[in-house]
Structure 1
Amino acid sequence: MQVPEIFWTFATIGLGPFVGSFIGLLTLRLPAERPWAASRSACDGCGRKLGPLDLVPIASFVALRGRCRSCGATIPRRYLLLELACLGIGAWSALAFAGPIALATAVFGWWLLLLAVIDAEHFWLPDMLTLPLGAVGFAASLLVLHEPVWTPVLGAAIGFGTLWLLAFAYERVRGRQGLGGGDPRLLGAIGAWTGWSALPSVVVWAGLAGISVALAQLILRRQVATDTRLPFGTFLAIGAWLTWLLGPLHGLFG
């Protein structure tokens, strides 16, 4: 039985705020090594277990004015911001694509957002997030995009191998790490989604995003800090999202 088109549209948009709430939880608990899978959400101020009315994305935050109903503690604004961001990603995906591809696009965007936030705040790309992203990309390539099996395999291999070799060469020449260990695995996971031919566009977009941030920091600080670290995984996530939506750069200008 064919799934109605409207189902995919509502699922893609409607799931966004709930995914955003979950992402907000993960961005706080994973870096702090706190349990997240089996434990119920609770107020960090008074420890009260949150009920269903406290957990309605966006609406609960607005109704409670960003505070716990019991103790008045401030609810982290990241929850609202990430819920709105995931709603936007879902809506963008539904406008750009139709059917199951729209939902797959939203899943890709939500996952990239999670990784981008964690890397931006902690310079960390956990394997428990990057490796499953590649596995889901492999499945989406075969089942949703109907690509031949070698497309995600080659994309993952080239994505990982290119950055791994670059990081290895840099460390041998300079005697210190230039890339985090999670960056090659993230680009490999992205390659499983986009295929190898789109990887140059991902890297170009990532480089442009990184340069923009570096220039902004230079302008604001009015000095160059040679030891400033930049979260390359965040920029790779931006590059992957733009490439997925817009297609490879050679297709835009060809």
Structure 2
Amino acid sequence: MLGTDLDGQTGLWAAGLGVLGAIVGSFVAALVLRWTADRSVIHGRSACDNCGRTLAAIDLIPVLSFVVLRGRCRTCHTPIDRSHLAIELLAVTIGVVAGLTSPGPTGAAGAVFGWLLLGLGALDLAAFWLPDRLTATLAAGGLISGFAGLAPDLEERLWGGIAGFGVLWLVGEGYRRFRGREGLGGGDPKLLGAIGLWLGWRLLPAVLLIASLFGLGVVMGAALRGRPMARDVALPFGVFLAAAAYPAWVVMIGFAA
């Protein structure tokens, strides 16, 4: 009987965080598209980028509107940016996985962690930009979770924040001194520091390793397609850090359960 109750509770948390993820994903998609176009996220109603028609509520239902409208504006039939759908689906997945991993406050906190990483990763992919205010929000969330008593403990989180920032800052500074130019964006150390405030210091080596492997995979994939990258081609390392950090949280909480 207890197992049935727990399964039902898990399902409710997964469903609830999944629905909330769809809403958050819609906001994150709008944030990415508006910030990269230097537009306000708060002011102004959503409108078609091509014909300018103000979107109605039926046009703004996360995921469902895209499917029903077949990915096109209802008025001018211009294709809707597919990144909208991709971000919304990823946000739903983050919420569902968090709810399944740890139904309750820990899962809700993990979903917030994933959604903030999603926003940062999407902005870095779109514009090589990791906004300080969003990274600071991620860092604050890690600290709040630690003060609330969620695993890992606050001391481990603080050391994770220090180590995360310090390691990548030293790498970037060493590269700059050795090569005479920037090789690592200034936002990457801040992002890894914020991730450390969520995961603690123990998982940071794994996050860095996986993120580096993601980057190596992108380079190797380009080479296999006959488009090798030059040494000075920039890669959005923040995307790789974000993609490595959320699964690390899932594994950490899964083993702790």
Secondary structure class of the residue paired with 1:197: coil
* Native 8 Å contact 1:41 1:49 kept in 2: yes
State the alpha-carbon separation in 2 of the partners of residues 5 and 90 from structure 1: 12
Unaligned residue ranges in structure 2 (runs of 5+)? 1-8
Structure 2 residue corresponding to 1:8, chosen from 10, 13, 18:
13
Once the two structures are superposed, the pairs formed by residues 221-232 of structure 1 within 5 Å of their partners are 221=226, 223-232=228-237
* Native 8 Å contact 1:8 1:98 kept in 2: yes
Per-residue CA deviations over 1:24-65 (Å, capped at 9, x if unaligned) read 111111122111113221111222222211111111112222
Structure 1 residue corresponding to 2:207, chosen from 202, 213, 217:
202
State the alpha-carbon separation in 1 of the partners of residues 73 and 229 from structure 2: 42
Residues 146, 90 of structure 1: alpha-carbon distance in 2 compared, 3 angstrom cutoff: closer
| Match of residue 192 from structure 1 | 197
* Native 8 Å contact 1:30 1:36 kept in 2: yes
| Match of residue 238 from structure 1 | 243
State the alpha-carbon separation in 1 of the partners of residues 227 and 47 from structure 2: 43
**Once superposed, what is the RMSD of the aligned Cα atoms?**
2.2
- Give yes or no for the alignment of 1:40 onto 2:42: no
* Native 8 Å contact 2:211 2:237 kept in 1: yes
State the alpha-carbon separation in 1 of the partners of residues 10 and 241 from structure 2: 31
State the alpha-carbon separation in 2 of the partners of residues 247 and 147 from structure 1: 9
TM-score (normalised: structure 1): 0.89
Using the TM superposition, name which of 37-46 and 170-179 deviates more.
37-46
* Native 8 Å contact 1:29 1:35 kept in 2: yes
Per-residue CA deviations over 1:174-210 (Å, capped at 9, x if unaligned) read 1011100000100010011001121111111111111
State the alpha-carbon separation in 2 of the partners of residues 80 and 239 from structure 1: 21
State the alpha-carbon separation in 2 of the partners of residues 227 and 206 from structure 1: 19
* Native 8 Å contact 2:24 2:88 kept in 1: yes
- Give yes or no for the alignment of 1:113 onto 2:114: no
Once the two structures are superposed, the pairs formed by residues 145-184 of structure 1 within 5 Å of their partners are 145=150, 147-184=152-189
Per-residue CA deviations over 1:136-186 (Å, capped at 9, x if unaligned) read 111122215155432322221111111112211211111011100000100
Using the TM superposition, name which of 79-88 and 224-233 deviates more.
224-233
Unaligned residue ranges in structure 1 (runs of 5+)? none
Alignment length (residue pairs): 247
Once the two structures are superposed, the pairs formed by residues 52-201 of structure 1 within 5 Å of their partners are 52-143=57-148, 145=150, 147-201=152-206
Residues 144, 56 of structure 1: alpha-carbon distance in 2 compared, 3 angstrom cutoff: farther
State the alpha-carbon separation in 1 of the partners of residues 227 and 59 from structure 2: 44
1:17 positional shift:
1.2
State the alpha-carbon separation in 1 of the partners of residues 158 and 144 from structure 2: 11
Secondary structure class of the residue paired with 1:140: helix
State the alpha-carbon separation in 1 of the partners of residues 211 and 14 from structure 2: 29
* Native 8 Å contact 2:95 2:111 kept in 1: yes
State the alpha-carbon separation in 2 of the partners of residues 67 and 166 from structure 1: 45
Secondary structure class of the residue paired with 2:15: helix
Residues 237, 146 of structure 1: alpha-carbon distance in 2 compared, 3 angstrom cutoff: closer
TM-score (normalised: structure 2): 0.88
Secondary structure class of the residue paired with 2:86: helix
